[in-house]
C-alpha cells in the first residue's frame, strides 16, 4: 500500500522573508532551465508562492501547478508519489526543492511518477551540502563580472536529522551525489545536464530526459 505523505510546510512559510536573495537566484535558474527547453505544456509540482509559475505563464507557456497543500491554491491538489494526471500529459515537469520533503525510500516512486506524466523532460533541484568557496570578481567597469564556485568536498560525515521539513539532503551521509545520480537513472532518466548557481551552491539542478525505469530501488547507506 502506498504511504501517505504528511504535509510539512504550512502555507504561511511562503510569506514574509521566503523570497530572499538566494531564492531569487534559484528562481532565475529555474526559469532559464524551463525556457531553454521551450516546452508547450509544463507541470510544476510544488508551487511555493507561485513566483516561477506566474512568470512562466506570462511567457505564454501553458503551465499547470500541483501541490499537496490546497491552501496554496494549485490547479490540482495531489501527491508527487501519485500524481493526478495521465501518462505523458506534459512536455516538461518540474519539481524544485520538493524531493527532500519525502522520506528517502519514497524518492524513487516520486521520480517514476515525474517520468510517467512527462513526454520529454523533467527538471529537479535539491539541497546540496558541500564545503565550498564561491564569489564574484569584477576588475574594471563595463566588463561582466566573473562568478566562481570551488567545491572542496561533500559533508558526507554528517547525518541529516529531520528538521520538520527535509528528510534528507544530498551531500550528507547516505545521500551522496553519486547515489542520487544512480537513483535518477534507475528511475528511468538520462541526465542531460546538471549544474549549481554559482551564487547559491546550496541548490543543485538536474535536467533529465524521459526513459524507461529499470525497477531497481536505491536506499540510504
Encode the chain (221 residues) as per-residue pLDDT tens digits: 444 555 556 555 555 566 778 889 999 999 999 999 999 999 999 998 899 999 999 999 999 999 999 999 999 999 999 999 999 999 999 999 999 999 999 999 999 999 999 999 999 999 999 999 999 898 888 888 899 999 999 999 999 999 899 999 999 999 999 999 999 999 999 999 999 998 899 999 999 999 887 654 444 44
Q: Is residue 144 domain-resident?
A: yes
SS3 of 74, please? coil
> Is-contact 99 122, C-beta < 8 A?
no
Q: Is residue 1 domain-resident?
A: no
Q: Tell me what pLDDT residue 140 has.
A: 85
> Is-contact 78 54, C-beta < 8 A?
no
Strands (E) across the chain are located at: 41-45, 62-67, 76-77, 90-96, 118-127, 130-137, 146-154, 189-195, 203-210
Gap between the Cα atoms of 218 and 211, Å rounded: 18
Q: Specify the pTM.
A: 0.87
> Is-contact 40 62, C-beta < 8 A?
yes
48: CATH = 3.40.50.150
Q: Is residue 111 domain-resident?
A: yes
Q: Is residue 7 domain-resident?
A: no
The total of structural domains in the chain comes to: 1
SS3 of 123, please? strand
Domain around 71: 18-210
Q: Is residue 103 domain-resident?
A: yes
Which triple of cell numbers denotes residue 219? 536506499
Q: Tell me what pLDDT residue 84 has.
A: 98
Q: Is residue 127 domain-resident?
A: yes
Q: Is residue 146 domain-resident?
A: yes
55 CB-contact burial (10 Å; exposed 0-12 / middle 13-18 / buried 19+): middle
Q: Tell me what pLDDT residue 3 has.
A: 47
> Is-contact 114 80, C-beta < 8 A?
yes
Q: Is residue 215 domain-resident?
A: no
Which triple of cell numbers denotes residue 104? 528517502
Which residue is associated with the grid cell 495521465? 86
Q: Tell me what pLDDT residue 214 has.
A: 67
Amino acid at each position: 500500500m502506498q504511504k501517505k505523505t504528511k504535509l510539512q510546510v504550512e502555507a504561511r512559510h511562503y510569506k514574509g522573508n521566503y523570497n530572499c536573495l538566494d531564492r531569487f537566484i534559484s528562481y532565475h535558474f529555474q526559469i532559464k532551465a524551463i525556457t531553454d527547453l521551450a516546452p508547450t505544456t509544463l507541470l510544476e509540482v510544488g508551487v511555493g508562492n507561485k513566483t516561477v509559475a506566474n512568470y512562466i505563464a506570462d511567457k505564454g507557456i501553458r503551465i499547470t501547478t500541483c501541490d499537496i497543500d490546497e491552501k496554496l491554491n494549485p490547479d490540482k491538489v495531489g501527491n508527487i508519489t501519485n500524481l493526478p494526471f495521465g501518462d505523458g500529459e506534459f512536455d516538461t515537469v518540474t519539481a524544485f526543492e520538493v524531493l527532500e520533503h519525502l522520506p528517502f525510500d519514497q524518492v524513487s516512486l516520486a521520480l517514476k511518477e515525474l517520468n510517467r506524466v512527462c513526454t520529454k523532460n523533467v527538471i529537479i533541484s535539491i539541497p546540496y551540502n558541500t564545503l565550498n568557496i564561491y564569489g564574484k570578481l569584477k576588475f574594471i567597469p563595463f566588463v561582466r563580472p566573473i562568478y566562481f564556485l570551488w567545491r572542496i568536498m561533500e559533508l558526507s560525515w554528517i547525518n541529516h536529522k529531520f528538521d520538520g521539513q527535509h528528510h534528507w539532503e544530498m551531500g550528507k551521509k547516505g545521500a551522496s551525489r553519486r547515489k542520487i545520480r544512480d537513483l535518477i537513472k534507475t528511475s528511468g532518466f538520462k541526465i542531460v545536464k546538471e549544474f549549481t548557481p554559482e551564487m547559491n551552491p546550496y541548490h543543485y539542478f538536474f535536467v533529465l530526459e524521459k526513459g524507461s525505469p529499470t525497477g531497481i530501488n536505491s536506499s540510504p547507506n
